[in-house]
Amino acid sequence: MFLVSIAPLTRIAAACLLAAGCCAAYAQGVAQAATTPPPGTMTGAYGQSLHQQQAAADKAAAQPNTKPAQATVSPAQDAVSRFLSERGLLNGAEQSAPSRLLSSVRDTASDLVLSAMNFLGVRYTRGGNSVENGFDCSGFTRHIFEMSVGLVLPRRADEQAKDSSLLSIRQDELKPGDLVFFNTMKRTFSHVGIYVGEGKFIHAPRTGSAVRVEDMRDSYWAKRFTGARRADLKAAAEGPVTR
């Protein structure tokens, strides 16, 4: 019977356990090194937010062709944009930014023009001069000028064109609020409307139709245009002026 000393075995087992512990500690250290951010790096929710912002900035910098953000539009400007868009005065390309028309109606005639556009859709009635009864062309212009700036124009279109208090202007001088005249009944000043800008005017067209906006550059109106007149709207606004 042989007796074997267990001392060497104990020393071997202890050495193995020590080696295993060292390996585990080393592995843990490697893992921590892989997940621990460099010194000075902020952690937590705020740190993550900073990381995300930096990542977004780096991504944007790596894409030089990225379109710049659009300029912020003020609430008042946006409201006018929506109004004009709903009224059909802005096309799709113009809705994303202030257009020349948008700028033009924000001058001394803006109240008059916007007041006129509020009557879009009111039916045409020959001899009419009110919302309840409808409008004809000169009844419409007379109503708008009297209601918005206190200027009472003559009743008929030809009388408005010949009013000595109104300034005759060329077509290339037109501004929002000017009166525009056409020959639609073989008479020089047989039809009248109000210029709103960008070559467009608002008027009460004919029986069976309603107040609407049309383009003076359309062939029908372009060849029938006979002149334009301008009132002193600032003077009219200071006090009612009658004819």
Please list the pLDDT of the chain residue by residue as tens digits (243 residues). 444 454 554 555 555 544 555 445 454 554 444 444 444 333 344 344 445 555 666 676 666 554 544 444 444 445 545 555 655 555 554 444 445 655 555 555 678 898 999 999 999 999 999 999 999 999 999 999 999 889 999 999 999 999 999 999 999 999 999 999 999 998 999 999 999 998 999 999 999 999 999 999 999 999 999 999 999 876 666 665 555
Distance CA(160)–CA(206), nearest Å, equals: 19
Distance CA(214)–CA(134), nearest Å, equals: 19
pLDDT value at residue 68: 46
With CA atoms as reference, report the closest residue to 200 among 175, 183, 167. Answer: 175
The residues annotated with a catalytic role in the active site are 137, 191, 203
Domains present along the chain, CATH in parentheses:
77-238 (3.90.1720.10)
Burial of 135 (0-12, 13-18, 19+ CB in 10 A): buried
Residue pair 199/178 in contact by the 8 Å Cβ criterion: no
Say whether pTM exceeds 0.85: no
Residue 189 half-sphere exposure, CB side, CA atoms within 13 Å?
A: 16
pLDDT value at residue 149: 87
Q: In this structure, which amino acid lies at residue 28?
A: Q
Residue pair 241/190 in contact by the 8 Å Cβ criterion: no
Burial of 120 (0-12, 13-18, 19+ CB in 10 A): middle
Residue 45 half-sphere exposure, CB side, CA atoms within 13 Å?
A: 0
Q: E strands of the chain, at which residues?
A: 129-130, 134-135, 167-169, 179-182, 191-197, 200-203, 212-215, 225-230
Print burial letters for 88-117: b (CB count within 10 Å at least 16), e (below 16). ebbeeebeeebbebbebbeeebbebbbbbb
Tokens of 116: 């006129």
- Quick one: residue 47, left, alpha or beta (phi over 0 = left, psi -120 to 50 = alpha)? alpha
Distance CA(108)–CA(234), nearest Å, equals: 7
Q: What does the DSSP 8-state code read for residue 6?
A: S
Residue 68 half-sphere exposure, CB side, CA atoms within 13 Å?
A: 3
pLDDT value at residue 178: 95
